[in-house]
C-alpha cells in the first residue's frame, strides 16, 4: 500500500485561511431586509463585495448602503424598526445586535454618511434606548423611543424643499415627529421633543433649536411612507440581489 504524504505547511496555511474567511463571512448578522424600493440601491459588504439589492434583499451588519438618484428605499430591521433612505444617501450598518430574549445585548449603531433618512425605532429603542444611535460627521443622535428625520448637507441639498425656498444650509438637520432625541457632539447636546427642529453646523459647534419656520423636515413619497411597495426585482424572477462585477 502506498503511503500518502502529509499535507505541506503551505496547504495547511491555505486551508486555515479559507476557514477563517468563511467564519468571518458567516458572522455578519442579518439586520433586516429591503421592503420597498423605487430605484437602485447597492450594498458594499464587509467582505469588500458590492451587490445590487431589490425588495426582500437582506441587509447585514457591516453593510454600507447607497441609494442612487431618484431612489427611495425602506428598510425593516429584525426588531421592527424601520428606516427610509432618501435619494443619494449612504447609510452604514455599523453595529446590529438584537436577540428577543437578551435585551442586555442590544446594540444598534447606524452611520449616516451623506443624504437623509426617516427612522422609526423598534423594540431596541423601546426597551434599551441607550443602545440605539445614529452617527454623523457632525453629531450623534440618541433616541428616546421615537420617529425622527435626519438630513446631512454638504453642498448637496439643493433639491430639498424648505419653507424659505432656499436650499438648507450645510450641516445636520433633525426633525422629530414623535418621542424625543438627544443630539450631541463635542460642542454640547440638545434635547428635541416631538414637533421640534434642530440644527448642527459642524462637529465643534453645539446643536441648536430651530423655529418651525426655519426647520427642515425630511419628507418621503406616499408610496414609501404608506407601505405601498413599488419597484421591481433585479435579474431573474425571485432573485433578490446580484453582484456588481
Q: Is residue 131 part of a domain?
A: yes
Q: Is residue 56 part of a domain?
A: yes
Q: Are 51 and 244 in contact, with CB atoms under 8 Å apart?
A: yes
Tens digits of per-residue pLDDT, 86-107?
999 999 999 999 999 999 999 9
183-192 contacts: CB < 8 A, separation 24 or more? 183/139, 183/140, 183/141, 183/142, 183/207, 184/139, 184/140, 184/142, 185/138, 185/139, 185/140, 192/148
Predicted confidence at residue 8, as pLDDT, reads: 56
> How far apart are alpha carbons 51 and 32 in whole angstroms?
16
Contacts of 222 (CB under 8 A, 6+ apart): 228
Can you name the residues that pair with 109 across neighbouring β-strands?
A: 95, 133
Mean pLDDT of the chain: 85
Q: Is residue 17 part of a domain?
A: no
Burial (CB count within 10 angstroms: exposed 0-12, middle 13-18, buried 19+), residue 72: buried
Q: Are 65 and 42 in contact, with CB atoms under 8 Å apart?
A: yes
Tally of structural domains, the chain = 1
Q: Is residue 46 part of a domain?
A: yes
Predicted confidence at residue 202, as pLDDT, reads: 97
Question: Residue 152 belongs to what domain range?
Answer: 29-243
48-52 mean pLDDT: 95
Tens digits of per-residue pLDDT, 171-201?
999 999 999 999 999 999 999 999 999 999 9
Tens digits of per-residue pLDDT, 123-137?
998 898 899 999 999
Q: Is residue 218 part of a domain?
A: yes
Q: Is residue 23 part of a domain?
A: no
**What is the pTM (predicted TM-score) of this model?**
0.82
Q: For residue 57, what is its C-alpha cell?
A: 434583499
Q: For residue 74, what is its C-alpha cell?
A: 425602506
Q: Is residue 19 part of a domain?
A: no
> How far apart are alpha carbons 54 and 44 in whole angstroms?
14
Q: Is residue 11 part of a domain?
A: no
- Answer yes or no: is pLDDT of 237 > 50: no
Tally Cβ neighbours within 10 Å of residue 182. 18
Domain at 210, CATH number:
2.60.120.1440
- Answer yes or no: is pLDDT of 7 > 70: no
Residue whose C-alpha is closest to residue 200's, from 112, 96, 70, 71:
112
Helical segments of the chain, H only: 9-27, 123-127, 222-225
Amino acid at each position: 500500500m502506498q503511503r500518502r504524504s502529509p499535507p505541506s505547511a503551505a496547504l495547511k496555511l491555505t486551508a486555515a485561511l479559507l476557514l477563517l474567511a468563511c467564519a468571518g463571512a458567516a458572522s455578519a448578522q442579518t439586520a433586516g431586509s429591503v421592503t420597498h424600493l423605487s430605484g437602485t440601491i447597492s450594498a458594499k459588504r464587509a467582505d469588500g463585495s458590492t451587490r445590487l439589492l431589490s425588495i426582500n434583499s437582506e441587509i447585514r451588519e457591516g453593510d454600507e448602503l447607497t441609494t442612487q438618484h431618484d431612489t427611495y428605499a425602506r428598510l425593516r430591521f429584525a426588531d421592527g424598526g424601520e428606516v427610509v433612505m432618501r435619494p443619494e444617501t449612504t447609510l452604514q450598518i455599523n453595529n446590529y445586535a438584537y436577540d428577543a430574549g437578551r435585551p442586555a445585548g442590544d446594540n444598534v449603531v447606524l452611520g449616516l454618511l451623506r443624504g437623509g433618512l426617516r427612522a422609526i425605532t423598534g423594540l431596541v429603542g423601546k426597551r434599551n434606548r441607550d443602545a440605539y444611535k445614529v452617527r454623523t460627521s457632525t453629531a450623534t443622535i440618541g433616541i428616546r423611543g421615537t420617529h425622527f428625520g435626519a438630513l446631512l448637507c454638504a453642498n448637496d441639498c439643493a433639491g430639498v424643499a424648505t419653507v424659505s425656498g432656499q436650499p438648507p444650509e450645510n450641516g445636520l438637520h433633525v426633525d422629530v415627529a414623535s418621542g424625543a432625541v438627544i443630539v450631541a457632539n463635542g460642542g454640547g447636546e440638545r434635547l428635541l421633543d416631538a414637533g421640534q427642529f434642530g440644527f448642527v453646523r459642524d462637529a465643534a459647534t453645539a446643536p441648536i433649536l430651530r423655529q418651525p419656520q426655519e426647520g427642515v423636515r425630511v419628507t418621503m413619497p406616499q408610496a414609501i411612507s404608506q407601505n405601498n411597495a413599488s419597484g421591481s426585482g433585479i435579474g431573474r424572477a425571485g432573485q433578490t440581489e446580484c453582484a456588481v462585477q
